[in-house]
Structure 1
Amino acid sequence: MSVEKVKAYFAGFGMEDRVLEFPVSSATVAEAAAALHCEPCHIAKTLAFLVCETPMVIVMAGDARIDNAKYKARFAKKAKMPTPDEVLTLIGHPVGGVCPFAVPENVNVYLDVSLRRFETVYPACGSPNSAIALTLPELEQYSGFSAWVDVCRGWDEQAEA
């Protein structure tokens, strides 16, 4: 099971006991926020994409959405999401549990700037009923991220209003 793979990954850092598993679903931002008793924006949702058939994931704040123009400007391709079966095959985690941990080496991990306003965020851990609380430096360290990107919208609209 994917959550066991993530726990084994975190065991390498002596922190597998920080992985939380819930008796309820945390597959959506709203469900994860309810399970964690936090605001949805603190959920670090991870979406999978294909760029020229190469898989990648982008971790973003729960209240952020992909901005197609920003995405295309950054990656020079239109955003293409794999099917749920492809996500499991290419990323190694099922939809609802996609995370940046224990992914194959060919999967690039990007962190969106929408996360930078938080001290702690809650990404999934490989199953649709798991999460872990991480500071941003911890998220950077354990995700093995390639770069910070600015490819989302929606999260900063309240600040601009």
Structure 2
Amino acid sequence: MSVTEVRSYLKEFNMADRMKDFEASSATVELAAKALGVEEARIAKTLSFYGPDGCCILVVTAGDVKIDNKKFKNMFGLKAKMLRGDDVKKLTGHEKGGVCPFANPEHTEVFLDESLGKFETVFPACGSANSAIELKPEELFQCAKAVKWVDVTKAAGAPK
């Protein structure tokens, strides 16, 4: 999917006009926070994992947390294994650096981590390495057609 396809997808929710495009890359949490002038924690990073039966699980988290493998396994019943680079586009519909919770293939399931709930608004990517949108967590849940809220993260500096 391209940023154009995500923009079209977000029209369904009357959100397309809220998308922001940047001249510089926003492909990482650090770069996105810099481009938007916000703290890294408010960047809603979309992490892609192998799911059961060849499907893809997308987990959207706050920018300052990491996946807790034990919580992930308890939630999904499988080990957290991120997509290999060559599988990213095939399973998410987006290029690496532009993976987002919008306009994904039918077999892709989106989950939002509770770490996003501490913010009034967050900034997920919009299908490219230089785009984002500001949404309330509830709006993100709706626009992402998320399955449910989950608790699968821990602080980035937390021990294993």
Task: Please report the TM-score for the alignment, with normalisation by the length of structure 1.
Answer: 0.93
Partner of 1:12: 12
Partner of 1:73: 74
Instruction: Tell me if 1:41 matches 2:50.
Output: no
Partner of 1:27: 27
- Spell out the pairing of 1:85-100 with structure 2 (5 A cutoff): 85-100=86-101
> For residues 23 and 140 of structure 2, what CA distance do their matches in structure 1 show?
25
Partner of 2:58: 57
Note the alpha carbon deviations across 1:37-69, whole angstroms, 9 max, x for none: 000000000010012222110000000100111
Shift of 1:15: 2.6
Shift of 1:115: 0.5
> For residues 84 and 124 of structure 1, what CA distance do their matches in structure 2 show?
18
Shift of 1:17: 1.7
Instruction: Tell me if 1:128 matches 2:129.
Output: yes
Instruction: Flag as ranges the 4+ runs of structure 1 deviating above 6 A.
Output: none
> For residues 49 and 2 of structure 1, what CA distance do their matches in structure 2 show?
20
> For residues 151 and 12 of structure 2, what CA distance do their matches in structure 1 show?
31
- Greater Cα offset, 35-44 or 5-14: 5-14
Partner of 1:116: 117
The answer to whether the 8 A contact 1:91-1:107 is kept is: yes
The answer to whether the 8 A contact 1:61-1:155 is kept is: no
Residue-pair matches, total: 157
Unaligned runs of 5+ in 1: none
Unaligned runs of 5+ in 2: none
Identity %: 51
> For residues 15 and 84 of structure 1, what CA distance do their matches in structure 2 show?
29
> For residues 99 and 133 of structure 2, what CA distance do their matches in structure 1 show?
13
Note the alpha carbon deviations across 1:77-124, whole angstroms, 9 max, x for none: 111111122111111011211111001121110000110100100000
The answer to whether the 8 A contact 1:111-1:148 is kept is: yes
Task: Please report the TM-score for the alignment, with normalisation by the length of structure 2.
Answer: 0.93
> For residues 142 and 70 of structure 2, what CA distance do their matches in structure 1 show?
29
